[in-house]
Structure 1
Amino acid sequence: MTKHQLIGAEVSLYTGKLRCYLQYKNIPFDEVVASGEVYRDTIIPRTGVRYIPVLITDDDQALQDTTEIIDYLERRYVEAPVYPSTPFQKLIALLLEVYGDEWLVIPAMHYRWNIEENKDFAVAEFGRTSVPDASAEEQLIVGKKMSGPFAGSLPVLGVSDTNTKAIETSYLGLLKELDRHFKATPFLMGTRPCIGDFGLIGPLYAHLYRDPYSGRLMQEQAPNVVAWVNRMINPDPLTGDFLPDDQVPETLMPVLQRMFREQGPVIRSTLDRVAEWASVNADGKAEQEISRAIGSHTFTVEGAEAERLVFPYCQWMWQRPYDCYQGMNEENRTTVERRLAVLPGALELLRHPVTQRVVRKNNRLLLG
């Protein structure tokens, strides 16, 4: 029997997300380490980009981007869907995927590359992954070279000397909120993981649990989050249910309030900047590519202001919960809006028009 191939690495945030999904769904796969040779011979020629994970399907399609891969597999493997069918649960699950995928990369990257113990561990991991058959000395040299662009991306994400303490304060607050939630509920929405769980597991496992310093921090500060991580990486496949009657636990409200307080203004700014970029740069051609970053904007975490690049991909992810909300019938929308009232800024952002869509095609981001 031909299996899917997951090409990735233990050190990779998004590989962790996809691996957990494949294991929970009981989808047969073999894992292939994304060595330098695999990048050269498979990843780059098959996808046109240098990102992992990549899924080579059992019918030899090469798929890149965890969200698109999960959606493809959900259509094929319909048992125990990870998208709730009820409107409020589905919206919240999509929002938390955006939060995990696009915002928790900030503390994940800070703790990995600004904490010396974590940095040394990650560099060694990069070396072992890139040249698995080389000596330890050679792996260290390669690891430093391969990890350089990742360590150098901190300013791009908005991590600077002026806000690292604020990032840590926010992250510790999030751990406390999640710990309270997972003490009462095994996953975000009940006894089955949803797409939001898979969005959160990437940063919370691959960086913040596996890296030694931040792993100890999680053990000390949030044992119930550690227990959730272990449920995610060692799942009981295809088991569990979402809560009945479209319930979303109250314990998730502080997490969502944090999301809209910190990430919400960045999402809104991104929508506006994408529209501005298109108005200046669109030339009327079909399938016009948009740059990976289009300028910079300021953001605030725990009172500390910093600057980061504007990423149109963030809008592509945001369009998922936005479309979920906009597509609701009147009855469902009225109910959902009433329940969102406890989240300052949520309704304003979900109502903010997306005037310039972005789409993904052949692993490129295009104006829609």
Structure 2
Amino acid sequence: MRQTYTLYGWHLSYFTGKALCYLRYKQVDHVLKAVNLFTLTRTIKKKTGAAVMPVLKTPSGEWIQDTSEIIDYIESLHHMNPVTPNTPVQEFASTLLEAWGDEWWVPIAMHTRWNYPENFALFEQDAGKALLPWAPRFLQNKAAQRPAKMLRGMLPFVGIVPEQYNTMNEWTVHMLDALNRHFEQLPFLLGERPSLGDFGLVGTMYGHLGRDPWPKRELIEPRTHLNAWLERMKNPAVHADKLLLGNDEIPASLNPIFKSIFEEFIPMVAQVGELATQHAQQNGLNQRLPRRIGEVTTTMGGKPFKRGALPYMIWMMQRALDCYAHMADSDKHDVRTWLKQHNAEHILRLNLPRVERRALTVAVTALPPKHMEKAA
């Protein structure tokens, strides 16, 4: 009897796209099941602690909520076509790219969806049909209003306010142009097949920028090489037997992307880490943090960008730093050498608290070393 995984999600969902493309790449038997209202608010919430998507139900009956943990789980059981590179610099770089794709692009995806009204008809159709598949159209439309209202209400939460629209628009054009130039040279981020970073990036492209009518027409389709990459990511299994770049190379065409990671994303995570540390000092360890613990200001394209401090991104960065920590000394040397080329070796010394994932947020389990030294 074939063992089939069930992925609960919607095509319009940011992270469903990431998980779906990954499962297609791994060529494991799976089905995508649209989440209805009962499954979302009752079953999934009971199984994972949050009404969230996507969620993977395994053949053995386990329910796995986070896409990074979904990938970890599948990789541990299905060893063909690994998405983690087997050389140190590419491995570390791919974990950074995944974290950047998962966390940094969220404001761009939400801005290009909710601030362009022509996109709503597709959301209303998809969400309504999924939530109440048995109901008449007018009830489906009404059901879609609730998640739409919730998501619109989150826009300021992630920095989507009128005074920052131009900053986001300019950054998006610059970054999509950079990605388009890269994909003119290579089919995927690190070579001839996708790796972890591609699946991090595809989240924002699959369900949002590459599917919503306005950004698809205005941003993705005119950039033919980026659009071709997105089409490859929708059917990535045909590239599974290809190779990544040799000699542990990170292509120079990704320099603008890593500039964003090192100069925009990492400083934001560092500030969120400091706020999480302060929260833990005041409230104790092992307490579930709020989804938002204040505000941080970083830069986007050289301009100030203010947004909510979401402690979940600490967990994503922790995964990258753990990847480095578990390497052999010679491999660590190679990673440090690459980071020095970008004046970014300092990211290995980020003073982040140790966190544990708790559904959609985290709990601090240990203070950063510097704070523990002060406490002592």
TM-score (norm 1): 0.94
* Number of aligned residues: 363
* 3-state SS of paired residue (2:236): coil
- The answer to whether residue 170 in structure 2 is matched with residue 169 in structure 1 is yes
For 2:323 and 2:13, the matched residues in 1 are separated by 29
Are the equivalent residues in 2 in contact too, given 1:201–1:229 (CA < 8 A)?
Answer: yes
TM-score (norm 2): 0.92
Q: Please, which of 345, 348, 366 is the counterpart of residue 347 of structure 1?
A: 345
Residue segments in structure 1 that go unaligned for 5+ positions in a row: none
- Please, which moves more after superposition, 204-213 or 228-237? 228-237
For 1:41 and 1:290, the matched residues in 2 are separated by 23
Structure 2 equivalent of residue 365 of structure 1: 362
Are the equivalent residues in 1 in contact too, given 2:312–2:360 (CA < 8 A)?
Answer: no
Letter in structure 2 aligned against 1:132: P
Are the equivalent residues in 2 in contact too, given 1:100–1:200 (CA < 8 A)?
Answer: yes
- Please, which moves more after superposition, 358-367 or 272-281? 358-367
* 3-state SS of paired residue (1:300): strand
Please report how far the alpha carbon of residue 83 of structure 1 lies from its aligned counterpart in structure 2 after TM superposition. 0.4
Structure 2 equivalent of residue 241 of structure 1: 243
Letter in structure 2 aligned against 1:255: I
Structure 2 equivalent of residue 191 of structure 1: 192
For 1:145 and 1:241, the matched residues in 2 are separated by 45
Structure 2 equivalent of residue 74 of structure 1: 75
Question: Do the aligned partners of residues 364 and 262 (structure 1) sit closer, same or farther apart at CA in structure 2, a change above 3 Å counting?
Answer: closer
For 2:358 and 2:293, the matched residues in 1 are separated by 19
Are the equivalent residues in 2 in contact too, given 1:127–1:146 (CA < 8 A)?
Answer: no
Are the equivalent residues in 1 in contact too, given 2:19–2:67 (CA < 8 A)?
Answer: yes
Are the equivalent residues in 2 in contact too, given 1:87–1:328 (CA < 8 A)?
Answer: yes
Structure 2 equivalent of residue 100 of structure 1: 101
Are the equivalent residues in 1 in contact too, given 2:194–2:236 (CA < 8 A)?
Answer: no
Structure 2 equivalent of residue 333 of structure 1: 332
For 1:360 and 1:219, the matched residues in 2 are separated by 33
Structure 1 equivalent of residue 158 of structure 2: 157
Structure 2 equivalent of residue 116 of structure 1: 117
Structure 2 equivalent of residue 34 of structure 1: 35
Letter in structure 1 aligned against 2:335: V
For 2:52 and 2:346, the matched residues in 1 are separated by 34
Please report how far the alpha carbon of residue 220 of structure 1 lies from its aligned counterpart in structure 2 after TM superposition. 4.3
Question: Do the aligned partners of residues 41 and 336 (structure 1) sit closer, same or farther apart at CA in structure 2, a change above 3 Å counting?
Answer: closer
Are the equivalent residues in 2 in contact too, given 1:175–1:221 (CA < 8 A)?
Answer: no
For 2:38 and 2:158, the matched residues in 1 are separated by 29
Residue segments in structure 2 that go unaligned for 5+ positions in a row: 366-376
Letter in structure 2 aligned against 1:366: A
For 1:197 and 1:127, the matched residues in 2 are separated by 30
Structure 2 equivalent of residue 265 of structure 1: 267
Please report how far the alpha carbon of residue 271 of structure 1 lies from its aligned counterpart in structure 2 after TM superposition. 1.5
Percentage of matched positions with identical amino acids: 34
Are the equivalent residues in 1 in contact too, given 2:290–2:361 (CA < 8 A)?
Answer: no
- Please, which moves more after superposition, 170-179 or 306-315? 306-315
Letter in structure 2 aligned against 1:93: S
Letter in structure 2 aligned against 1:278: A
Please report how far the alpha carbon of residue 325 of structure 1 lies from its aligned counterpart in structure 2 after TM superposition. 2.7
Letter in structure 1 aligned against 2:292: A
Alignment of 1:215-226 (within 5 A): 215-226=216-227
Letter in structure 1 aligned against 2:294: G
Letter in structure 2 aligned against 1:79: M
Structure 1 equivalent of residue 297 of structure 2: 298
For 2:61 and 2:332, the matched residues in 1 are separated by 41
Are the equivalent residues in 2 in contact too, given 1:292–1:312 (CA < 8 A)?
Answer: yes
For residues 308-330 of structure 1, what are the alpha-carbon distances to aligned partners after superposition, in whole Å with 9 as ceiling and x for unaligned?
22111100000111222334344
* 3-state SS of paired residue (1:244): coil
For residues 228-283 of structure 1, what are the alpha-carbon distances to aligned partners after superposition, in whole Å with 9 as ceiling and x for unaligned?
1111111235322222211111111111112222212211101211111111111x
Are the equivalent residues in 2 in contact too, given 1:163–1:304 (CA < 8 A)?
Answer: no
Are the equivalent residues in 2 in contact too, given 1:47–1:363 (CA < 8 A)?
Answer: no
Are the equivalent residues in 2 in contact too, given 1:176–1:221 (CA < 8 A)?
Answer: no
Are the equivalent residues in 1 in contact too, given 2:276–2:364 (CA < 8 A)?
Answer: no
For residues 103-138 of structure 1, what are the alpha-carbon distances to aligned partners after superposition, in whole Å with 9 as ceiling and x for unaligned?
111110000001111233323322122112322222
